[in-house]
Amino acid sequence: MALFYPTEIPDVIIFQPQVIEDFRGFFMETYQKEVFSFAGIVHDFVQDNHSSSIQWTLRGLHYQVSHTQGKLVRAVIGEIFDIAVDLRKSSSFFGKWVSAYLSEENKKQLWIPPGFAHGFLVLSKRADVVYKTTDYYDPAGERTILWNDPTLGIDWPIPVDQQPIISEKDKKGALFLEAEVFA
């Protein structure tokens, strides 16, 4: 049976699908509208994305102020440390973050509702991440918060002697206290 687990921010939910395994491999339903609706996730998904990254790549913290996206994230190859940051001023969790380890082994998925920034760190030699979104990508509305923002204090599991691999765009992310957020 598929299971849903709320995180410390109850709107962010870990989904553990039922996995049927035998000598040939495995089968699992990664999404079924009725099952997710029963768990309170009633959004329609309009786009699927797939990224592939090498070890210590850090992507994020990304969000859109227009065409705000909810995301259902999973790692289909490798392992990632996935982050969601609450950007909803009206939330009692505003400015707080939660994390989950997502991997091809544990097959967990993370539901990140609209109003959150999202990022992840690749822990394995390579990771392929796929995620469904509730709205379309809008480059004009895209925003980035600095991955190592001191106010957020995200505890990324990066070894002391390792520098994360970060895009130029992500290096120029806004500080949390200066970022555009949601009402």
3-state SS, one letter per residue, for the chain: CCEEEECCCCCCEEEECCEEEECCEEEECCCCHHHHHHCCCCCCCCEEEEEEEECCEEEEEEEECCCCCCEEEEEEECEEEEEEEECECCCCCCCCEEEEEEECCCCCEEEECCCEEEEEEECCCEEEEEEEECCCCCHHHEEEECCCCCCCCCCCCCCCCCCCECCHHHHCCECHHHCCCEC
8-24: average pLDDT: 96
The answer on pLDDT for 1 being more than 90 is no
Give the separation between CA 152 and CA 36, rounded to whole angstroms.
30
**Mean pLDDT of the residues in the chain:** 97
Give residue 80's Cα distance to chain centre: 10
Q: For 92-108, what is the mean pLDDT? A: 98
Q: Verify whether residue 63 is a known catalytic residue.
A: no
Catalytic one among 43, 50, 62, 136?
62
Check: pTM over 0.85? Answer yes or no.
Answer: yes
If you average pLDDT over residues 20-45, what whole number do you get? 95
How many C-beta atoms surround the C-beta of residue 51 within 10 A? 14
Q: How confident is the model at residue 2 (pLDDT cuts 50, 70, 90)?
A: confident
- Cα-based angle 167, 168, 169 (whole degrees, multiple of 5): 90
pLDDT tens-digit readout, 130-141: 999 999 999 999
Residue 41, pLDDT score: 95
Over 90: is that where the pLDDT of 151 sits? yes
- 3-18+31-178: CATH homologous superfamily? Jelly Rolls (2.60.120.10)
**pLDDT (tens digit per residue) in 103-129:** 999 999 999 999 999 999 999 999 999
Amino acid occupying residue 179: A
Catalytic residue flag (residue 101): no
40-90: per-residue pLDDT in tens?
999 999 999 999 999 999 999 999 999 999 999 999 999 999 999 999 999
Q: Give percent of the chain with pLDDT exceeding 90.
A: 99
Whether the per-residue pLDDT at 27 is higher than 90: the answer is yes
